[in-house]
């Protein structure tokens, strides 16, 4: 789920940037540092929408670096258990398939794929129903439900299922072609 929240961060700035463009520098540095990172609490920081407030800088002894507390508005993405997401399949193997929804990697185990779908190895490994009507392969788009998340320092990893009503393939690259 996406959230628009305000976060705070202490930014350290090298003295050489002190000057008229200090604020710009601060913002660009913030964007560089924060966007794309992941925190267990808030999830992935997708984009910084703006700076809310820049606090008073504090010069650090010895180094001359200045620490600014910066409050910024950003969009974060955090997957939740039970959430329904749409994802693009990135890899299919006999244990299941990996899909990505934005920065989050989701694994759908073959235990969580409907029983009527069978794994087929080969050039493009895929899961296919016995009648061949539904096929999951690389680049397929699927709708899945998150059943578990694991949050690392830099990554959120999810386990999803498509073994539920209204879940499964929503668009097939093969069909489109």
Residues within the interface to another protein (CB under 8 A): 81, 91, 93, 95, 107, 109, 111-112, 146-150, 152, 157, 159, 161
Q: Are 156 and 150 in contact (CB under 8 A)?
A: yes
To another protein, the closest distance from the beta carbon of 155 in angstroms equals 10
- By beta-carbon proximity to another protein, the closer residue of 153 and 177 is 153
Q: How far is the CB of 138 from another protein (least distance, A)?
A: 11
Nearer to another protein, 12 or 90 (CB): 90
Least distance from another protein to the Cβ atom of residue 159, Å: 5
Cβ atoms within 10 Å of 118's Cβ, excluding its own: 12
CB 153 → another protein: shortest distance, Å? 10
Q: Give the nearer residue to another protein in terms of CB position, either 153 or 176.
A: 153
Q: Identify which of residues 34 and 113 has a Cβ nearer to another protein in the complex.
A: 113
Q: CB nearer to another protein: give 47 or 91.
A: 91
Gyration radius of the chain's alpha carbons: 22
Shortest distance in whole angstroms from residue 123 CB to another protein: 12
């Amino acid at each position: 789920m996406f959230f628009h929240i305000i976060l705070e961060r202490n930014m350290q700035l090298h003295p050489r940037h002190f000057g008229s463009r200090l604020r710009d520098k601060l913002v660009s540095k913030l964007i560089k540092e924060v966007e794309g990172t992941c925190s267990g609490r808030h999830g992935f920081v997708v984009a910084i929408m703006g700076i809310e407030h820049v606090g008073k800088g504090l010069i650090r002894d010895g180094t001359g670096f200045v620490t600014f507390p910066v409050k910024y508005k950003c969009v974060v993405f955090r997957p939740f258990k039970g959430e329904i997401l749409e994802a693009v399949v990135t890899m299919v193997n006999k244990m299941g398939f990996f899909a990505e929804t934005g920065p989050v990697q989701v694994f759908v185990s073959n235990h969580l794929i409907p029983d009527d779908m069978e794994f087929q190895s080969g050039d493009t490994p895929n899961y296919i129903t016995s009648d061949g009507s539904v096929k999951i392969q690389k680049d397929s788009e699927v709708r899945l439900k998150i059943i578990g998340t694991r949050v690392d320092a830099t990554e959120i990893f999810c386990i999803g299922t498509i073994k539920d009503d209204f879940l499964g393939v929503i668009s097939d690259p093969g069909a489109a072609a």
